[in-house]
Amino acid sequence: MKKLKMILPKLIMFLMSIMFIAPIWMVAVNSIKSKAEANLLGMAFPKDGIIHLINYFKVIEQGGILRSFMNGLIESTFSVVIIVLAASSCAYILARRKGKIYNIIFYTFIMGLIIPVAFIPTYLVLNKLNLVNTYAGLIFIFTTYGLPSAIFLYTGFVKTIPRELDEAALLDGCNCFRAFFSIILPLLKPVTVTISILSFIGAWNDTQIPLFFASGDHWALPLSVYNFYGAHEKSWNLVFADVIIIILPLVIIYMIGQKYIVSGMTAGAVKG
Amino acid sequence: MGKKMNSILLSLFLVFAFVLSGCSVETKETKATSDATTVNEGTSKATATTAEDTTAANKYAGESLTILMASGDGSNEAVKAAMDKAAEILGITLEYSVVPDDQFLNVINTKGSTGNLDDVIFTSASLSDLPYAEFAELSGDWVSHISDATKSFTLNPDDGTTIMAPFGAESNFGLAYNKAVLEKAGVTLPIKDYAAFLDACKKIKDTGVTPLYISAQENWTPQILLLSSFTTTLLKDDLVTQLSTNKVKPQDVQGIVDIWNNVKAFSTNGYINDDFLSSSHQMGLEAIAKGEAGFYAVTDGAYGEIKTAYGDLIQGVGLTLCPMWNDEADAFVMGNRSARMLAATKNGSKLDIAKAFIDTCISQEVMTVYYDMSPGASPYVDMGYDLTSSEWNQEMKELATQFPTHGDWCNNLYDGTAVMNKFFGEFDLRVQSMFSGKTAQAAVTDWYTAYSESAKAQRVEGF
Amino acid sequence: MGKKGFYSNWMMYPAILIFVVFFIIPNISGFYLAFTDWNVYFIDDMRLVGFDNFQKLFIDNIFWISLKNTLFFVFVTVMAKNIIGFIMALLVSKASKFNTYLRTVMFLPVMISGIVISIIFLSIYNPETGLINTFLRSIGLGALAKGWLIDSKFAMSSIAAMEIWQWSGFNMVIFIAGLQSIPHNFYEAASIDGATWFQKIRYITVPLMIQSFTMTFVFSIISGFKVFAQVYGTTNGGPNDSTQVMATFLFRSFARGQYGYSAAVGIVFMLVITLFSALFLVFLRKKEIEY
């Protein structure tokens, strides 16, 4: 009886994990079929027995994969860096200083979590600044929409760092900036990891923002799907090959950095 | 420890693979430029490249153009193949921006109004809301060869200059039919009205085959049934003028509700496939090619699709009228002008290259690439060469000697203008909703609501 | 602290600057736009129309359907994501190779783009050839096979299930953190007192994890209200508008080029979320203080 109790939860979890893997399997298996067969969306191996690896080559060639990959890398990395620096320093002030104005600023940032993107006005602003279809433009937009949650988490976390540390720094002759960068920021590492990961994934996977504010040459991987997926015409085999390619980078990063990702998120979550 | 090693190795391998693929992309570009130079040197290639093309190839080699497309076109292999061929001939590279269909209009208009438009636009001519003011006047040889049916759609509505180059076939919409199935059931063509069509369906059903295939999971296929049959209904009683000035609402016109109802009836009369709500276009093509269905409503682009996917089975499939009308006098052949158009941005920095690109697209070499994959009737006349036209277009041409030809109700030229162009009202979704359970009356009312809203936004008189 | 001079406001300015330029300014003009009839056909010429857009909004049947669907979606997914995430966390919180494998697998869907998830599930939910129905039929439960995304009765729930599938792992990770921060001796003391497993959860675990719950609930609620890619990618509001949610409704008017109208929808949308989030935060803060 005790053994059953031990095994049962494990069994349930195992079955659940199958549920998580099955969709990915379906994508993988359909990505190596011919167009006609893949469009029938089955789960089995290709009936004609041929593994159509050519799908991947077609996708890489027609989808501009390498460039999309580099675009995603550039746009996501820079946004993350800016978000971390700007949000943490802003949160430091918001958490430490008291006063109505700081409350207002904090809640205005929170509004950023709630209000949906206003595409046309934002586009016009970008246009005025000549930032349409540029890396800088996209990075600024990603940053803007990543700031609210970052500030939310950072503010909560900073509040748990004792003010005595600030006072000690002041006594040592540091000004605000030095105190922040040398002492506080290192202590914020767990939250930084969490935010970096969330913002990176958010920017990497975003399909609405690059679509509107930039053209094909600045798009990241997920948008390459539209090369194979139209209202009139769906080449599922190519779409799925593309999907596998899109998922792969993040999966790899996740598998390598898993320990750090999970521990970073957990530590950030508890204190935040 | 072993696991970590594995993941590191795996990631290294993938990075390596990415880098390799990147190299192959570059090789493709260098290959394109070296191709251009080989043509230049006069090495024999069995293609008819004129001297003008070679000088163009010489001039623009290494340049790049940005091209904006909707995913409906961008995911079409024949289109992509043709575009790439033209780029290859000129020695340039194309940077595609493929946008989801329902965002195409927004993107192109926003970019147009702020001067950020891509160099080349590839679009569907049935869109009436394009930023025409941004398109440059085109003047290749081919301008004088555009067929009459297509001509009006290539002109700038404000000043009558040619701003769009038709690309792709003039189309016929209708019912694809499986010859063997019809023969076995004793059905003869052409079928002249709805009652006769129901008879034919019964005969086919008696032989154990699905009479009409419906792929209602797609939102663009069910509408073909009406796109190829609705026009003559509107030609009666001056309905076009009445509807376009909001003097009459379509849900109050019995003739309109009746023909929509004829289509709706199929969702319950047992003459269609059981899985119609979840079946895809591909499944419809397969059913008609393999004789598992008698009829399937298609555009003539399906000819190329069936040929590519099912090879010789295409010989057993024909195209005929789609008789949803009650009165035989309303019978007609649906023939449309070319669906796809190329345009160049007037204020683009690469206007010359864009124009050269378009001229190259309308050349025998590139058109052949397209028509071989997607046969049809070319929108150009007397070009001096023949393009693969399909047996389907031939069949419809023959029917056109018996019945009048009209375009689809939305793009048809009523007294010379495509008046109904502004009143699409998400027609595709309306027809699809009938298969999801809406009554014809409700669907027509929804159509009115949608198009009147859009007409109001466009400040059309009467709305 | 009194050292007002120490904390320099300059540290706030970068974030504020970016935010003002790219968020505040567009939204303020968005606010103005809501009162015009600006649309794609007359991009250079817009007219003020007062409250017309809002009127149109409130008499539109679809708006109310989208509101109802959104609330349904939020309720179902927030409950399920947190409960499932919590249970999963309980089951895999101990460190072990197997648990690490499970954690990885459950968190994986979080890393996949919303559009991609929709595409994957479109094929899974296919009534004829999809994974789910094929599986049901193969174990003899064919009667349960439904038209998941094409039957208006099941469509919204199917989309909710997809969302739960994707994001439960995210909540799980946060809960694992919370679980691991509870000292073991609490449980040992409870065991000595004879507490059952369930009682331990109820009186020790949950109260001590209230902060984690706050965080996951807030994120679940906000992302639930803003749900878009999942619906857009699978049904785009169909069949027959039965799965319209606020974000797709907003997007539809935007895609039709009715920019003024969609700005008005955006404002109403924002008010709804703010209202519910505020209500919920107040409720949560109360519970937090209690514990």
What pLDDT, on a 0 to 100 scale, did the predictor assign at position C1? 44
Same domain, B208 and B241: yes
The beta-carbon neighbor of C147 closest among B106, B110, B277 is B277
**Overall domain count for chain A:** 1
Provide the pLDDT for residue C115: 80
Distance CA A116, CA A144 (A): 12
DSSP per position, chain C:
---TTTS-GGGTHHHHHHHIIIIIHHHHHHHHHTTB---GGGTT---B-TTHHHHHHHH-HHHHHHHHHHHHHHHHHHHHHHHHHHHHHHHH-S--HHHHHHHHHHHGGGGS-HHHHHHHHHHHT-TTT-HHHHHHHHTT-GGG---TTTSHHHHHHHHHHHHHHHHHHHHHHHHHHHHHTS-HHHHHHHHHTT--HHHHIIIIIHHHTHHHHHHHHHHHHHHHHT--HHHHHHTTT-STTTT--HHHHHHHHHHTT-HHHHHHHHHHHHHHHHHHHHHHHHHHHHHHHH-
Residue B21 placed within a domain: no
* Cα B47 from chain centroid (whole Å): 27
B110 in A contact zone (CB under 8 Å): yes
Categorize the per-residue pLDDT at B249 as very low, low, confident or very high, splitting at 50, 70 and 90: very high
CATH number reported for the structural domain that contains residue A138 in this entry: 1.10.3720.10
Gap between the Cα atoms of B238 and C5, Å rounded: 80
pLDDT at B5 over 70: no
CA dist., res. A229 & res. B72, Å (int): 8
Beta-carbon separation of A43 and C173 below 8 A: no
Instruction: Give the residue-averaged pLDDT of A58-77.
Output: 83
Supply the CATH number for residue B141's domain. Answer: 3.40.190.10
Give the angle subtended at the CA of C218 by the CAs of C214 and C219, to the nearest 5°.
Answer: 120
Within-domain flag for B15: no
Residues of chain C under the 50 pLDDT cut: 1-2
Least confident span in A166-170, A234-238, C166-170: A234-238
Residue A118 is assigned to a structural domain of this protein: yes
Q: What is the pLDDT of residues B136-194, one digit of tens each?
A: 999 888 888 888 778 878 888 778 889 989 887 777 889 999 999 999 999 998 999 99
Which residues in chain C are contacts of A112 at CB distance < 8 A?
Answer: 19, 23
Fill in the amino acid letter for A191. V
| C108 within domain boundaries | yes
The answer to whether A136 contacts chain C (CB < 8 Å) is no
Least confident of A33-37, A240-244, A250-254, B44-48: B44-48
Whether B23 maps to a domain, the answer reads no
- Tell me the average pLDDT of chain B: 81
What is the residue range of B415's domain? Answer: 171-336+391-457
Residue C39 lies in a domain: no
pLDDT value for C68: 92
Q: What pLDDT, on a 0 to 100 scale, did the predictor assign at position B28?
A: 32
Which one is predicted more confidently, B12 or A76? A76
Helices and strands counted in chain B (H then E):
19, 11
Q: Tell me which residue of B122, B134, B263 sits closest to B194, measured CA to CA.
A: B263
Examine residue A120 and state whether it is found in any structural domain, yes or no. Answer: yes
Cα separation, B346 vs B164, in Å, equals: 12
What's the number of domains chain B is made of?
A: 2
Contacts of A120 in chain B (CB under 8 A): 110
Identify the band that residue A143 occupies on the pLDDT scale cut at 50, 70 and 90.
Answer: very high
Residue B222 has pLDDT above 80, yes or no: yes
**Residue B408 belongs to some domain of the structure:** yes
B425 belongs to a structural domain: yes
Mean pLDDT rounded to a whole number for chain A: 80
Best mutation site among B6, B64, B71 for testing chain A: the one with the most A CBs within 10 Å?
B71
Residue B24 above 50 pLDDT? no
Which helix H or strand E contains A205, and what residues bound it? helix A189-205
Q: What is the pLDDT of residue A270?
A: 53
Same domain, B74 and B106: yes
In C, residues 60-89, which contact A (CB 8 Å cutoff)?
88
Tokens of A238: 């190519």
- Compute how many other C-beta atoms are within 10 angstroms of the C-beta atom of residue B423: 25
- Same domain membership, residue B286 and residue B213: yes
Q: What is the mean pLDDT of residues B204-227?
A: 91
Tally of domains in chain C? 1
- The parent domain of residue C141 ranges over 61-290
Mean pLDDT (whole number) for A146-175: 84
Per-residue pLDDT, A230 = 66
DSSP single-letter state for residue B46? S
**Amino acid at position B5, single letter:** M
Buried b / exposed e along B3-16 (16+ C-beta atoms within 10 A): eeeebeeebeeeee
Q: Which of A192-196, B366-370, B401-405, C177-181 has the lowest mean pLDDT?
A: C177-181
C91 at the A interface (CB within 8 A)? yes
From A189's Cα to the closest Cα of chain C, the distance in A is 16
Alpha carbon distance C60, C69 (integer Å): 15
Has residue A51 got a pLDDT over 70? yes
Inter-chain Cβ pairs, chain A and chain B, closer than 8 A: 118
Q: Provide the domain limits for residue A263.
A: 57-271
Q: Is the residue at B258 inside a domain?
A: yes
With respect to residue A193, please indicate whether it lies within any of the assigned structural domains: yes
Give the pLDDT score at B407.
85
Contact assignment for A22 to C131 by CB distance below 8 Å: yes
Pairing of strands B171-178, B317-320: antiparallel
**Residue type, position A96, single letter:** R
Answer whether residue C14 is part of any domain: no
Three-state DSSP state, B208: coil
Of the candidates C37, C40, C152, the beta carbon closest to that of B106 is on: C40
Question: Is the per-residue pLDDT at B347 higher than 90?
Answer: no
Per-residue exposure over C214-232, b if at least 16 CB sit within 10 Å of its own CB, e if not = bbbbbbbbbbbbbbbbbbb
- Kindly state whether residues B330 and B433 are assigned to the same domain: yes
- What CATH number is attached to the domain comprising C128? 1.10.3720.10
Q: Which chains touch A (3 or more CB pairs under 8 A)?
A: B, C
DSSP class of residue B400?
Answer: H
Question: Which amino acid is present at C12?
Answer: M
In a domain? residue C159: yes
**pLDDT bucket at A257, cuts 50 / 70 / 90:** low
The answer to whether residue B317 scores a pLDDT higher than 90 is: yes
Count of C-beta atoms within a 10 Å radius of residue C281: 15
- ipTM summary value: 0.79
8 Å CB contact of B129 and C128: no
Question: Of C229, C210, C206, which Cα lies nearest the Cα of C218?
Answer: C210
Considering the domain architecture, whether residues B323 and B346 belong to the same structural domain is answered as no
Q: What crossing angle do the helices spanning B51-60 and B77-90 adopt, rounded to 10°?
A: 80
Is some CB atom of chain A closer than 8 A to the CB atom of C120? yes
8 Å CB contact between B280 and B286: no
Mutate which of B71, B110, B217, B427 to disrupt the C interface (most C C-beta within 10 Å)? B217
Q: Give dist(CA A79, CA A82) in Å, integer.
A: 5
Is B13 a domain residue? no
Dihedral (CA of A158, A163, A164, A166) sign: positive
Enter the tokens of residue C258. Answer: 């009715």
Identify whether A2 is part of a domain: no
The Cα of A229 is separated from the nearest Cα of chain B by a number of Å equal to 6
Q: Give the span between the Cα atoms of A265 and C127, in whole angstroms.
A: 38
The CA-atom distances, in angstroms, between A268 and each of A147, A154, A189, B321, C99 are 16, 9, 8, 66, 21
C40 falls within a domain:
no
Residues B295 and B424 in one domain: yes
pLDDT band of A53, cuts 50, 70, 90: confident
Residue B380 in any domain: the answer is: no
Q: Are residues B134 and B261 in the same domain?
A: no
How far apart CA B443 and CA B448 sit, in angstroms, is 9
Give the neighbor-by-neighbor strand order of the sheet with B165-167.
B93-99, B64-70, B120-124, B340-344, B165-167
On whether both B298 and B429 belong to a single domain, the answer is: yes
When mean pLDDT is compared across A206-210, A231-235, B350-354, C184-188, the lowest value belongs to A231-235
Please indicate, yes or no, whether residues B359 and B246 belong to a single structural domain of this protein: no
pLDDT over threshold 90, residue B39: no
Residues of B with CB under 8 A from a CB of C: 102-103, 105-106, 109-110, 113, 129, 217, 219, 275, 277-279, 429, 433, 436-438, 454, 457-459
Residue C145 domain flag: yes
Q: Minimal Cα–Cα distance from A267 to chain B, Å?
A: 23
C199: closest CA of chain A, how far (Å): 18
Task: Note whether residue A3 is domain-resident.
Answer: no
Residues B137 and B177 in one domain: no
Residues A68-96: tens digit of each pLDDT: 888 988 999 999 999 999 999 898 888 88
Q: For residue A30, is it within any domain?
A: no
Nearest to B113 among C37, C39, C43 (CB): C43
Instruction: Note whether residue C28 is domain-resident.
Output: no
* Claim: this prediction has a pTM higher than 0.90: no
